[in-house]
């Protein structure tokens, strides 16, 4: 019950309204079902027991026929309400989880793969709404079963009582026997689905290397193994649920045949005397069996999807914490960040959880209008340093000042305040991502379609030293580039990413190995273009190219947990 209270509590206002309507409709269904079924038994019993059927009985049968058609329309509308909750409810939950993934800290982001994120956003939210809808349907079906039990007891007296008790015990045994296995299958199924999908992503990510590999079949083998494990778990789960249905149905049918054999053992006159009651008893019992199976199958389905529930609950807990923090931050004084002096980093200390310290009491100055290169061996902490300067990571101690604003303590000389670095900073990451749209849309990536300035797009492409290439393309800036820029070369992709960074207004341009795929001549041309077009803007580059670093005003080197100026 606690799980259902939680799931109903996280629904949006509109979905809660739909849920309440569905609850009411679902509890009408068993009343209609039991009444229709009881009426059918009554009519059949009357036809068998009476020599001549009255006109009133014929009218009653016609009335029930019309009522059944209306009940069918009612059930169709109930299906529409159920589908609305199932899909729109899952959609709205997925938006919350997606918002969490977009706004969460970099450390949390780095702990997940793309497939894990997709599972959290799509699969887990859908499974949780399925749990809720299954729970809603269990109640009415239990009521329907209880109504059938009453009819069974009324018709068959002590035999009905014994049958009801035996069936309930049988259901409990079936559920308890397989419950632990079903839950374990749910956990393994979720993990193996993520692993299987990840293999497909990897196949696209290493396509060129795979084509040139001596053993490309290894990639297929890895997918085959992951997919086989997923199929194995799904097969076992489906088999267990099928076993429950087969055992329940065939056991009850066997029981009925044994009862008939026992009755036929006696006198024929006695068998004829109870034949009508026996037909009703069998009819009701056969009607109860699907209900009993649905109840057990529904409870097992909930157990199977509990792993998704646990994952969603953890994510929404973090989502609530994030929104609460945003609410508190909204009450703090908002500051418009400035970049008149530059950046001063003092006594910076940082380490990832349980890993060696990367920086210890490190300091560096990045004056306004200056081009600064940060060098270091692979793994020395160049990218980590940029993440700290961009406020994506928080150090254990030290200060990072943009003029008078410290992004570590989020304060200035007047006290606590909030400021957005995005108003003064533009960033080009080490790994470039381009979507499959046009060059124009990729340059103006974070701009609404109707607000894109084509003239500015062209200017940025020229600055990034790729305009001549774009001019030769079939549709210019409107040329589609394929998913992640597959229609472009590596150097062209990086220059498109550079143009994207230049499209944004900024005071500080941060580049993390952003020109690594360019030759030295193009690298220098790009830097010269930035200086010429952007005037006195500040540039911070992480690079391992000494030749590029020499083009900068200052060079720093990360060594022994310090940042040392070498030029």
The pLDDT of residue 176 is 81
Model pLDDT for residues 457-480, shown as the tens digit of each residue: 998 898 888 898 898 888 889 988
What's the CA gap between 408 and 108, in Å, rounded? 18
Look at residue 555 in the predicted model and tell me its pLDDT.
93
Say if CB 558 and CB 384 are below 8 A apart. no
Q: Where in the chain is the domain with CATH 3.40.50.300?
A: 342-565
Contacts of 344 (CB under 8 A, 6+ apart): 365, 366, 399, 400, 401
The CA distances from residue 377 to 70, 387, 543, 559, in Å, are 76, 17, 10, 8
Q: Work out the percent of the chain whose per-residue pLDDT is above 90.
A: 18
Alpha carbons 200 and 219: distance in angstroms, whole number:
9
Judged on CB neighbours under 10 Å (0-12, 13-18, 19+), 331 is exposed
| Rounded Cα–Cα distance for residues 123 and 193 (Å) | 10
Lowest mean pLDDT among 24-38, 165-179, 265-279: 265-279
| pLDDT greater at residue 213 or residue 43 | 43
CATH topology of domain 342-565: Rossmann fold (3.40.50)
The answer to pTM > 0.85 is: no
The answer, yes or no, to whether residue 265 has pLDDT greater than 80, is: no
Q: Which of 347, 338, 325 is nearest to 421 (CA)?
A: 338
* Amino acid 522: pLDDT: 67
Comparing 126-130, 185-189, 194-198, the range with the smallest average pLDDT is: 194-198
* Residue 200 in this model has a pLDDT that exceeds 70: yes
- On the CB side of 158, how many CA atoms lie within 13 Å of its CA? 0
> What tokens were used for 307?
């792993």
Q: What is the pLDDT of residue 49?
A: 65
139 contact partners, CB below 8 Å, separation of at least 6: 26, 27
**pLDDT at res. 50:** 64
| Percent of the chain whose predicted confidence (pLDDT) is above 70 | 86
Give the pLDDT of residue 204.
Answer: 66
Q: Quick one: pLDDT at residue 279?
A: 67
- Distance from C-alpha of 170 to C-alpha of 238, rounded to nearest angstrom: 20
Residue 348 contacts residue 556 (beta carbons within 8 Å): no
Output b/e per residue, 22-51; b: 16+ Cβ within 10 A: beebbeebbebbbeebbbebebeeeeeeee
Buried b (16+ CB within 10 A) or exposed e, 470-493: beeeeebbebebeeebebbeebbb
Identify the residue whose tokens are 């160049």.
Answer: 382
Pairing of strands 508-512, 538-542: parallel
Distance, C-alpha 512 to centroid of its chain: 30
Res 398: pLDDT: 93
Neighbours of 317 (CB within 10 A): 11
Please, what sign has the CA dihedral across residues 433, 436, 441, 446?
Answer: negative
Q: What is the pLDDT of residue 195?
A: 80
Decide: 8 and 136 in contact? Cβ < 8 Å.
no
Please, where in the chain does CATH 1.20.1560.10 lie? 2-324
| 163-187: pLDDT as tens digits | 788 888 888 887 887 788 888 888 8
Q: What is the pairing mode between strands 357-367 and 538-542?
A: unpaired
How far apart are alpha carbons 552 and 531 in whole angstroms?
A: 11
Distances 35 to 78, 136, 149, 413, 480 between C-alpha atoms, Å: 18, 21, 13, 76, 62
Other C-beta atoms lying within 10 Å of the C-beta of residue 458:
18
Fold type of domain 2-324: ABC transporter transmembrane region fold (1.20.1560)
């Amino acid at each position: 019950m606690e799980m259902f209270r939680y799931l109903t509590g996280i629904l949006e206002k509109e979905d809660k309204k739909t849920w309440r309507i569905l609850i009411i409709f679902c509890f009408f269904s068993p009343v209609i079902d039991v009444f229709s079924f009881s009426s059918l038994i009554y009519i059949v019993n009357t036809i068998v027991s009476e020599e001549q059927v009255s006109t009133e009985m014929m009218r009653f049968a016609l009335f029930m026929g019309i009522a059944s058609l209306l009940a069918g329309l009612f059930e169709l509308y109930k299906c529409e309400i159920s589908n609305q909750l199932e899909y729109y409810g899952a959609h709205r939950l997925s938006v919350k989880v997606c918002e969490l993934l977009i706004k969460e800290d970099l450390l949390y982001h780095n702990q997940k793969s793309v497939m894990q994120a997709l599972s959290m956003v799509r699969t887990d939210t859908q499974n949780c709404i399925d749990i809720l809808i299954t729970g809603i349907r269990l109640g009415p079906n239990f009521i329907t079963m209880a109504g059938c039990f009453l009819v069974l007891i009324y018709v068959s007296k002590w035999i009905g009582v014994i049958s009801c008790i035996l069936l309930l015990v049988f259901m409990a045994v079936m559920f308890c026997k397989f419950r632990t296995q079903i839950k374990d299958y749910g956990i393994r199924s979720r993990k193996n689905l993520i692993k299987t999908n990840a293999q497909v992503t990897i196949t696209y990510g290493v396509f060129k290397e795979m084509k040139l590999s001596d053993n490309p079949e290894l990639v297929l083998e890895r997918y085959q193994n992951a997919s086989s494990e997923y199929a194995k778990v799904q097969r076992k789960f489906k088999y267990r649920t099928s076993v429950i249905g087969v055992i329940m149905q065939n056991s009850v049918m066997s029981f009925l045949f044994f009862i008939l054999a026992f009755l036929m053992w006696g006198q024929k006159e006695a068998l004829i005397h109870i034949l009508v009651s026996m037909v009703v008893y069998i009819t009701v019992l056969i009607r109860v069996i699907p209900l009993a199976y649905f109840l057990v199958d529904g409870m097992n389905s909930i157990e199977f999807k509990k792993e998704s529930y646990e994952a969603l609950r953890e994510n929404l807990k973090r989502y609530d914490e994030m929104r609460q923090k945003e609410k508190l931050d909204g009450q703090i004084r908002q500051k418009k960040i400035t970049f008149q002096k530059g950046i001063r980093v003092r006594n910076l200390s940082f380490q990832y959880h349980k890993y060696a310290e990367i920086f210890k009491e490190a300091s560096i100055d990045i004056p306004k209008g200056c081009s600064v290169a940060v060098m270091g061996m692979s793994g020395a902490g160049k990218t980590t340093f940029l993440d700290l300067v961009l406020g994506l990571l928080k150090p254990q101690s030290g200060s990072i000042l943009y003029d008078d604003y410290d992004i570590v303590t989020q304060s200035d000389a007047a006290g606590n305040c909030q400021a957005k670095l995005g108003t003064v900073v533009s960033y080009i990451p080490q790994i470039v991502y381009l979507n499959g749209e046009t060059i124009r849309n990729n340059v103006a990536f974070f701009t609404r379609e109707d607000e894109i300035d084509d003239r500015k797009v062209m200017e940025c492409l020229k600055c990034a030293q790729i305009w001549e290439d774009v001019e030769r393309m079939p549709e210019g800036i409107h040329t589609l580039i394929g998913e992640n820029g597959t229609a472009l070369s590596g150097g062209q992709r990086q220059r498109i990413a550079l143009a994207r960074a230049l499209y944004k207004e900024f005071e500080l341009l941060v580049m993390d190995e952003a020109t690594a795929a360019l030759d030295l001549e193009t690298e220098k041309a790009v830097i010269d273009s930035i200086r010429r077009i952007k005037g006195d803007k500040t540039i911070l580059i992480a690079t391992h190219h000494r030749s590029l670093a020499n083009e900068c005003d200052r060079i720093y080197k990360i060594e022994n947990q310090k940042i040392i100026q070498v030029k």
